Chain A
Amino acid sequence: MATVTAHMAQRTLWTGASFALLVVVWGAFAWVADNRFFPAPLPVFARMADEIARGDLFFHVGVTLWRVAASFMLALIIGSAIGIVMGLNKRLDWFFDGWLVLFLNMPALVTIILCYIWFGLNETAAMLAVAINKIPNTAVTLREGARALDRDYDEMASVFEFDVWKTFRHVTMPQLMPYIAAAARSGLALVWKIVLVVELLGRPNGVGFQLYTYFQLFDVTGILAYALAFILVVQVIEITILQPWEAAANRWRR
Chain B
Amino acid sequence: MSALTVRIDHKAYALNGGGVVAIEGLTFNVAANEFVCILGPSGCGKTTTLNLIAGLDKDFRGEITRGQAIAGRRLGYVFQTPRLLPWRSVTDNIAIAAGEDMKTRRKIGVLLKEVGLAGFEHAFPGQLSLGMQRRAALARAFAVEPGLLLMDEPFVSLDEETAVRLRALLMHLWREHPVTVLFVTHDSREAIQLGQRLLVLSASPARLVADLPVPLSAEERADPAAIERFRKEKLAFAAEARAPGDGAQYDAQMDRALQP
A residues contacting B by CB (< 8 A) are 152-153, 155-156, 158-162, 166, 170-171, 174, 251-254
| B85 touches which of A159, A161, A174 (Cβ 8 Å) | A174
Taken together as a complex, chains A and B put the C-alpha atoms of A132 and B54 apart, in Å, by 44
Closest chain B residue to A253, Cβ basis: B126
- How many residues of B sit at the interface, in one of the four size bands? 20 to 34
Task: Kindly supply a per-residue 1/0 record for chain B positions 96-120, scoring 1 wherever the CB is within 8 Å of any chain A CB and 0 otherwise.
Answer: 1100000000000000000000000
Question: Majority SS of interface residues in chain A?
Answer: helix
| B126 touches which of A158, A159, A166, A252 (Cβ 8 Å) | A252
Asked whether, in the complex, the Cβ of B124 is within 8 Å of the Cβ of A159, the reply is: no
Mind listing 17 A-B residue pairs with CB under 8 Å? A152-B83, A153-B83, A155-B51, A158-B56, A159-B56, A170-B85, A170-B88, A170-B96, A171-B85, A174-B87, A251-B124, A252-B87, A252-B124, A252-B126, A253-B86, A254-B126, A254-B127
Taken together as a complex, chains A and B put the C-alpha atoms of A124 and B55 apart, in Å, by 49
Given contacts A161-B74, A170-B88, contact A156 B79 (CB under 8 A): yes
> Once A and B bind, how many residue pairs between them come within 8 Å at the CB atom?
46
A176 shortest CB reach to chain B, Å: 11
Question: Majority SS of interface residues in chain B?
Answer: loop
Q: Is there a chain A Cβ closer than 8 Å to B196's Cβ?
A: no
Q: Is there a chain A Cβ closer than 8 Å to B36's Cβ?
A: no
Q: Is there a chain A Cβ closer than 8 Å to B81's Cβ?
A: yes
Taken together as a complex, chains A and B put the C-alpha atoms of A183 and B126 apart, in Å, by 26
Q: Is there a chain A Cβ closer than 8 Å to B75's Cβ?
A: yes
Q: Is there a chain A Cβ closer than 8 Å to B77's Cβ?
A: yes
Taken together as a complex, chains A and B put the C-alpha atoms of A40 and B81 apart, in Å, by 63
Hey, which chain B residues are within 8 Å of A161, CB to CB?
74, 97
Taken together as a complex, chains A and B put the C-alpha atoms of A252 and B126 apart, in Å, by 7
| B86 touches which of A156, A159, A166, A252 (Cβ 8 Å) | A252
Asked whether, in the complex, the Cβ of A166 is within 8 Å of the Cβ of B83, the reply is: no
Q: Is there a chain A Cβ closer than 8 Å to B144's Cβ?
A: yes
Taken together as a complex, chains A and B put the C-alpha atoms of A155 and B77 apart, in Å, by 10
Asked whether, in the complex, the Cβ of A159 is within 8 Å of the Cβ of B54, the reply is: yes
Asked whether, in the complex, the Cβ of B97 is within 8 Å of the Cβ of A160, the reply is: yes
Taken together as a complex, chains A and B put the C-alpha atoms of A4 and B148 apart, in Å, by 51
Taken together as a complex, chains A and B put the C-alpha atoms of A159 and B55 apart, in Å, by 8
Hey, which chain A residues are within 8 Å of B86, CB to CB?
252-253
